């Protein structure tokens, strides 16, 4: 195999590998944005999220508000302003 096709294959593989976490983070931000909006809280769009535990996140919105989004003991999704 010549160097050019091998280099191209490596570039494609690395792009796919490195874009995976980014796509997952983008999907999480969309999910948290929708959840906060459905709960009737002002947010705009989630710009960053930090996982605290299973079904437990801190979401930072474009309007600078932060929410802890988690599932309570009754199995309902709750967002508390931080």
| pLDDT value for 21 | 57
Distance between terminal CA atoms of the chain?
A: 56
Condensed to tens digits (0 to 9), the pLDDT of residues 26-73 reads 889 999 999 999 999 999 999 999 999 889 999 999 999 999 999 999
Q: What are the boundaries of each domain within the chain? A: 3-81
Backbone conformation region of residue 58, classed left if phi is above 0, alpha if psi is from -120 to 50, else beta: beta
Q: What is the pTM of this model?
A: 0.71
């Amino acid at each position: 195999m010549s160097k050019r096709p091998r280099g191209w294959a490596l570039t494609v593989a690395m792009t796919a590998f490195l874009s995976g976490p980014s796509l997952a983070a983008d999907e999480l931000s969309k999910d948290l944005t929708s959840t906060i909006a459905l709960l009737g809280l002002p947010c705009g769009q989630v710009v960053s999220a930090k996982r605290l535990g299973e079904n437990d996140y801190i979401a930072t919105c474009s309007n600078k508000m932060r929410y802890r989004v988690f599932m309570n003991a009754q199995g309902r999704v709750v967002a508390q302003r931080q």
